[in-house]
Amino acid sequence: MATSPLFIHLDQMFIILRDWLVGFLPAALRPAAGVVLGVIAIVCVFPGLFALTTVFERKGLGRIQNRLGPNRVGPYGLFQPIADGIKSLTKEDIVPLSANAVVHFFAPLVLVVTVFMGFAVLPMGRNMVLVDMDAGLLFFFAMGAATELSVFMAGWSSRNKYSLLGAMRAVAQMISYEVVLLLSSVAVVMITGSLSLPKIVAAQNTYTGIFPHWYIFTPWGLAGFVMYAIAATAETNRSPFDLPEGESELVAGYHTEYSGFKFALFFLGEYLAMFSISGLGTTLFLGGWSAPFSFLTFIPSWIWFFSKVMLSIFVFIWMRGTLPRLRQDQLMNFAWKFCLPFTLLDLIVTALWRFMGEGWLRWVVSTAILAAAYVVMGRAGMRSEHFGPRRYRYAE
């Protein structure tokens, strides 16, 4: 079934379209034109997805909070992003008098450009990767590191104490959780033996019976995925880690002094970072574009990739609607005293898994080590924090 001509045409639809379009050009220009078309596709698809996600998020949050959400613009409020876009384009662009104009101008640009670069190495379907780099994972994290600087630039150049505080919080948080993010993906690299993302997907795209060999279905993979998901939430400043822009504490953090289209760029950058980091998580742990069961491989690969990304986005929205915000010291303690040691232990378990060979023994050993560490570290951490039932004096 997976080799029928119809399936191949559906699966490789975008590649065939690109080759057909490029075919009109002289042979010397073809490789460059192919890359340009790929870039255009990324620059169109993900902001489109961003527009849809804003409606989805506002309606989802509305439902969680027992209200309707936007429902006035278009059917079911679906044209809300267009209204929002026109509004942010026509709003006045206010730059504070004391702001550092050049840095203030460049901050949103640096953010959006570096976030877009991350998409270049994500395999979004079979053969659908813009640049198949030998060190793709490293490239992704290098681009992620560059976004921290743009957040700092925005907060510092605004000359506003809320902005500066928000930027300092954001940078401290991003640096702390970036360590966890990197180390949790190192486990995948250790097993696959490659930093190239298409190779990591190919390593997971095999089946035992009907079940796939995704890394999340192994003990070390599950632990790594949980750590990755926590770090990814913190890295994108999403609730419950949204301290840098906590509107009730810091007005809006580092983008307080941005208005109009520059603010929209920050908003876009934040959502694009969510897409790219979900895409990377999908690639590393959830099998990328491979189907969840062997009898579902007739559905084109890119549908699977985007379904998994949108599922992760849904989980992001769900968490935002249900979890309260952490305190700054809790955030730091959690990163350095729980996540980091647990991720390091996960690396050791991964090495054990790699060298214990096939068999049921490695399942038992790695599960036992990880579960015991989780329980012991969790208990110890809770005890040192003196958590317990909270007593409210005024209610007695």
Partner 1 sequence: MNVVFYLLAALTIGGGLAAVLLKHLVHCALATTVAFAGLAMLFLQLDAQFAGFAQILVYIGAVAILIVFAILLTRGSELPKDGVFSRSWFVGLAIAAGVFAVLAWAVLQSVRAVPQQMAVPAVSVRDIGNALVGRYVLPLEIVALLLTAATIGAVIVAMHEKERPKS
Q: Among residues 50 and 140, whose Cβ is nearest to partner 1?
A: 140
Q: Among residues 165 and 265, whose Cβ is nearest to partner 1?
A: 165
CB of 333 to partner 1, least distance (A): 15
Separation of alpha carbons 15 and 300, rounded Å: 13
Establish if 190 lies at the interface with partner 1 (CB under 8 A).
Answer: no
DSSP classification of residue 293: S
CB of 87 to partner 1, least distance (A): 32
User: In this structure, are residues 187 and 224 in contact, taking their beta carbons and an 8 Å threshold?
Assistant: yes
Separation of alpha carbons 23 and 206, rounded Å: 34
Q: Among residues 122 and 195, whose Cβ is nearest to partner 1?
A: 195
| Burial of residue 184, with CB atoms counted within 10 A of its CB: 0-12 exposed, 13-18 middle, 19 or more buried | buried
Q: 111, 118, 95: which is closest to 42 by C-alpha?
A: 118
Establish if 156 lies at the interface with partner 1 (CB under 8 A).
Answer: yes
CB of 353 to partner 1, least distance (A): 19
Tokens describing residue 9: 């045409």
User: In this structure, are residues 22 and 37 in contact, taking their beta carbons and an 8 Å threshold?
Assistant: yes
Site string for partner 1, 337-376 (x = CB under 8 A): ----------------------------------------
**Distance of CA 163 to CAs 105, 194, 255, 276, 363, Å?**
15, 40, 7, 25, 48
Tokens 């920050």: give the residue.
266
**Which one of the spans 33-41, 190-198, 256-264, 288-296 is the region binding partner 1 (CB under 8 A)?**
190-198
Q: Among residues 119 and 304, whose Cβ is nearest to partner 1?
A: 119
Separation of alpha carbons 217 and 199, rounded Å: 18
Would you call the peptide bond into 240 cis, given omega within 30 degrees of 0 as the criterion? Answer: yes
Window 104 to 143, contacts with partner 1 (CB under 8 A):
133-135, 138-139, 141-143
Residue choice 78, 149, 303, 351 for contact with partner 1 (CB under 8 A)? 149
Q: Among residues 236 and 290, whose Cβ is nearest to partner 1?
A: 236
Residue choice 88, 194, 294, 333 for contact with partner 1 (CB under 8 A)? 194
Residue choice 39, 73, 146, 186 for contact with partner 1 (CB under 8 A)? 146
Residue choice 148, 235, 245, 270 for contact with partner 1 (CB under 8 A)? 148
How many alpha carbons lie under 13 Å from residue 175 in its C-beta half-sphere? 8
CB of 374 to partner 1, least distance (A): 25
- The dihedrals phi and psi of 162, each to the nearest 5 degrees, come to -65, -40
Establish if 41 lies at the interface with partner 1 (CB under 8 A).
Answer: no
CB of 134 to partner 1, least distance (A): 5
Separation of alpha carbons 262 and 255, rounded Å: 9
CB of 242 to partner 1, least distance (A): 20
Residue choice 15, 73, 103, 203 for contact with partner 1 (CB under 8 A)? 103
Count of residues that bind partner 1 according to CB under 8 A:
26
Tokens 């729980």: give the residue.
338
CB of 152 to partner 1, least distance (A): 6
Q: Which amino acid is at 248?
A: S
Q: Among residues 61 and 347, whose Cβ is nearest to partner 1?
A: 347
Q: Which secondary-structure segment (H or E) carries 247?
A: helix 247-250
Separation of alpha carbons 147 and 135, rounded Å: 19
CB of 138 to partner 1, least distance (A): 4
User: In this structure, are residues 282 and 212 in contact, taking their beta carbons and an 8 Å threshold?
Assistant: no
| Burial of residue 299, with CB atoms counted within 10 A of its CB: 0-12 exposed, 13-18 middle, 19 or more buried | middle
Q: Among residues 196 and 204, whose Cβ is nearest to partner 1?
A: 196
Crossing angle (nearest 10°) for helices 260-285 and 219-235? 180
CB of 74 to partner 1, least distance (A): 42
CB of 198 to partner 1, least distance (A): 14
Q: Among residues 33 and 138, whose Cβ is nearest to partner 1?
A: 138
Tokens describing residue 347: 């690396």
Interaction site with partner 1 (CB under 8 A)? 100, 103, 133-135, 138-139, 141-146, 148-149, 152-153, 156, 164, 168, 171, 175, 178, 193-195
